[in-house]
């Protein structure tokens, strides 16, 4: 294969019944037959710069995405296309073999398995990568495979900027995983002019037989089947904040002039979280959130003052940290730092965690179906955590390993004090006999 072959623009993907048309000094035809069905062809034919695809298991996500990368890097010389998997190892396991199947051998100039990359005869490059150490070259195209299983910040903070200088495109595909960042991206893609969003069940892919699908339906629980096979975005089962619903509790919540700001705050260091609320009648209005990675109470108060320079209010902190000293060198307690910033601290008592959870759930919707807790759309972390925090299987202990407990705790510390449920308790402070 001569390196002098210049590759012309690929025919559009839907024209691929079988061959790639390659023009150059000596026109050559390479066969690259890929048996894509109508659903995959819809994805490949999209003219949008960014494409989000939610599809069931074995739909053909990986093959379709790799083919899209190939089309891109063959559309001109010296182009760079990345296949990104949830980890480096998974990138290799999921992507390497299908990549070799998809790239016609005569187009390969050099194949480096150890680097997980293929250099093509037109000087373009396809590389498989994990999410780590990705910052580097500008990209013409990125395919993020199983995006729901990647860190949420990977797309906005790492990959999207890599596409900036070459004005590259991207395909983000996944089977859903609850209502996590992939769900957010999928919803947003439907509203943006430069995005397309597709959702296909496994059956639309054409690679899994009817009989096999029936067998899966019989063996999987309904939620699992809906998520994995129908590619539907399902709420996790065993959710701690089961009464929360986007439909009832998420709306536009502007800051109102007048009422004090009431801030629930969790002192976890990474991330440190706070929710900004106001009490309007008997309702709690959450207008904003603050999430600071690797931070401390100084920085949190700085951020609060920066956002609300004119207002002061009350902080409802984590009651277990009354005397915790954030900064050993200064030796100030969290409460002292908050007060020094001009805010009051409500010295919350410890409440049983189950009371806090019940109290927050009741605010989302009471037994009469009335919601009293409203959250602004921009509080993405709070919304995601409320939807994702689940109990450890078989227990009533929230699963803290997910990291979704912090910001919901911040909300709970405030709710339990400002909007307490009526309790029928009798307390004896001292009994003398
Ligand atoms: N274009 C194609 N031509 C021929 N066979 C294909 C094609 N695309 C997919 N297949 C077949 O379907 C199988 C599943 O495809 P692929 O691995 O791309 O699906 P997936 O949605 O990524 O699956 P998973 O959910 O397991 O990651 C492949 O192993 C292959 O047998
Ligand atoms: Mg796959």
Q: Which residue lies with its CA nearest to atom 23 of ligand 1? A: 58
Atom of ligand 1 nearest to the CA of 63: 18
Cβ contacts of 38 within 8 Å, gap of 6 or more: 204
Residue 107's pLDDT is 94
Per-residue pLDDT reduced to its tens digit, 37-54: 999 999 999 999 999 999
The verdict on 52 and 184 lying in the same domain is: yes
What residue's CA is closest to ligand 1, atom 10? 60
Looking at residue 92, its pLDDT comes to: 95
Q: Are both 323 and 220 inside the same structural domain?
A: no
pLDDT single digits (tens) 114-124: 999 999 999 99
206/251 same-domain check: no
Identify whether residues 174 and 48 lie together within a single domain. yes
Strands, E assignment, 23-177: 28-31, 50-55, 80-84, 108-112, 117-120, 125-129, 141-145, 169-174
Specify the pLDDT at position 422: 62
| Same domain (yes/no): 20, 146 | yes
Q: Above 70 in pLDDT, residue 272?
A: yes
- What is the pLDDT, as a whole number, of residue 156? 95
pLDDT tier, 148 (very low <50, low <70, confident <90, very high otherwise): very high
In a domain, 83, yes or no: yes
Residue nearest to atom 25 of ligand 1 (CA): 57
Q: Which two tokens stand for residue 167?
A: 């004005």
Same-domain check for residues 221 and 260: no
pLDDT band at residue 369 using 50, 70 and 90 as cut-offs = confident
Question: Rounded to the nearest whole angstrom, what is the distance from the C-alpha of residue 202 to the centroid of ligand 1?
Answer: 10
CB 84 within 8 A of CB 91: yes
Query: Considering the chain, what percentage of its residues have pLDDT values greater than 70?
Result: 87
381 vs 6, higher pLDDT: 381
Tokens representing 280 are 């309007």
Among all bound ligands, the one having the nearest atom to the CA of 43 is 1
- Pick from 168, 198, 228: which residue ends a domain? 228
Contact 205, 56 (CB under 8 A): yes
Please report which confidence band the pLDDT of residue 333 belongs to, taking 50, 70 and 90 as the band edges.
confident
CATH number where 371 lies: 3.30.420.280
Pairing of strands 80-84, 125-129: parallel
370 occurs within a structural domain: yes
Sequence-distant (≥ 6) Cβ neighbours of residue 87 within 8 angstroms: 130, 131
Please check whether residue 433 lies inside any domain of the structure. Answer: no
pLDDT at 218: 85
Tens-digit pLDDT profile for residues 197-243? 999 999 999 999 999 999 998 888 888 899 999 999 988 778 999 99
The whole-number pLDDT of residue 130 equals: 94
Question: How many angstroms does the Cα of residue 60 sit away from the middle of ligand 1?
Answer: 4
Nearest CA to ligand 1 atom 9: 60
* 177 and 256, same domain (yes or no): no
Q: Residue 280: pLDDT above 80?
A: yes
Residues 211 and 265 reside in one and the same domain: no
Q: Find the domain containing 55 and state its range.
A: 13-228
311: left (phi over 0), alpha (psi -120 to 50) or beta: beta
Mean pLDDT over all residues of the chain?
Answer: 87
Asked if the structure places residue 6 within a domain, the reply is no
Task: Give the C-alpha separation, 244 to 210, whole Å.
Answer: 36
Q: Do 385 and 337 belong together in one domain? A: yes
Query: How far apart are alpha carbons 433 and 430 in whole angstroms?
Result: 10
Q: Of 129, 55, 119, 44, which Cα lies nearest the Cα of 94?
A: 129
| Residue 333 resides in a domain | yes
**CB under 6 Å to ligand 1: residues?**
34-36, 55, 57-63, 175, 207
416 C-beta neighbours (distance < 10 Å), count = 24
Residue 423 lies in a domain: no
The pLDDT, as a whole number, for residue 197 is: 98
CATH number of domain containing 103: 3.40.50.300
Which residues are in the CB-under-5-Å shell of ion ligand 2? 61-62
Local confidence band at 325 (pLDDT 50, 70, 90 cut-offs): low
Q: What is the pLDDT of residue 42?
A: 96
Q: What percent of the chain has pLDDT over 90?
A: 68
Q: Per-residue pLDDT for 342 more than 90?
A: yes
Tokens representing 396 are 């009533």
> Residue 32: is it exposed, middle or buried by C-beta count within 10 angstroms (0-12/13-18/19+)?
buried
Domain count for the chain, please give it.
Answer: 2
Q: Indicate if the pLDDT at residue 429 is higher than 50.
A: no
pLDDT tier, 20 (very low <50, low <70, confident <90, very high otherwise): very low
| Terminal-to-terminal C-alpha distance of the chain | 101
Nearest-5° angle of CA 260, CA 265, CA 271? 140
User: Do both 196 and 273 map to the same domain?
Assistant: no
Domain contains 74: yes
The residue whose CA is least distant from atom 11 of ligand 1 is: 207
Are the C-beta atoms of residues 196 and 53 closer than 8 Å to each other?
A: no
Query: 238 in a domain, yes or no?
Result: no
Q: For the sheet with 373-376, list strands across it.
A: 250-251, 373-376, 283-292, 272-280, 261-266, 313-317, 344-345
Residue 185 and residue 332 in one domain: no
């Amino acid at each position: 294969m001569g390196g002098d072959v210049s590759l012309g623009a690929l025919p559009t993907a839907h024209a691929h019944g079988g061959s790639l048309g390659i023009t150059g000094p000596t026109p050559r035809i390479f066969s690259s037959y890929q048996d894509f069905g109508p659903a995959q062809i819809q994805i490949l034919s999209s003219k949008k710069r960014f494409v989000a695809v939610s599809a069931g298991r074995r739909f053909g996500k990986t093959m379709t995405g790799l083919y899209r990368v190939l089309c891109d890097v063959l559309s001109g010389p010296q182009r760079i296309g990345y296949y990104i998997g949830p980890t480096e190892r998974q990138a290799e396991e999921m992507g390497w073999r299908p990549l070799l199947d998809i790239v016609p051998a005569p187009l390969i100039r050099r194949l480096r398995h150890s680097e997980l990359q293929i250099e093509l005869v037109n000087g373009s490059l396809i590389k498989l990568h994990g999410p780590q150490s990705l910052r580097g070259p500008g990209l013409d195209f990125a395919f993020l495979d199983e995006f729901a299983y990647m860190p949420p910040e990977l797309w906005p903070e790492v990959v999207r900027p890599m596409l900036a200088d070459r004005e590259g495109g991207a395909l983000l595909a996944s089977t859903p995983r609850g209502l996590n960042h992939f769900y957010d991206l999928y919803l947003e893609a439907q509203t943006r002019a430069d995005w397309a969003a597709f959702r296909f069940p496994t059956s639309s892919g054409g690679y899994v037989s009817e009989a096999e699908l029936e067998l899966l339906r019989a063996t999987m629980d309904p939620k699992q089947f809906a998520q994995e096979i129908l590619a539907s975005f399902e709420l996790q089962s065993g959710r701690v904040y089961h009464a929360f619903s986007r439909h009832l509790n998420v709306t536009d919540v502007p800051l109102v002039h007048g009422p004090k700001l009431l801030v629930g705050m969790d002192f976890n260091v990474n991330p440190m979280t706070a929710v900004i609320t106001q009490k309007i009648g008997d309702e709690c209005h959450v207008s904003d959130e603050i999430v600071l990675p690797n931070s401390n109470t100084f920085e949190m108060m700085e951020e609060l003052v920066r956002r609300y320079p004119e207002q002061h209010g009350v902080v409802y902190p984590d009651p277990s940290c009354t005397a915790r000293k954030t900064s050993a060198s200064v030796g100030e307690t969290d409460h002292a730092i908050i007060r020094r910033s001009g805010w009051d601290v409500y010295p919350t008592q410890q409440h049983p965690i189950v009371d806090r959870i019940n109290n927050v759930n009741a605010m989302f919707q009471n037994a009469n179906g009335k919601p009293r807790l409203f959250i602004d759309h921009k509080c993405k972390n709070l919304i995601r955590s409320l939807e994702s925090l689940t109990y450890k299987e078989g227990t009533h202990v929230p699963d803290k390993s997910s990291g979704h407990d912090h910001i919901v705790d911040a909300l709970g510390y405030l709710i339990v004090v400002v909007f307490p449920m009526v309790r029928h308790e009798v307390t004896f402070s001292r009994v003398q006999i």
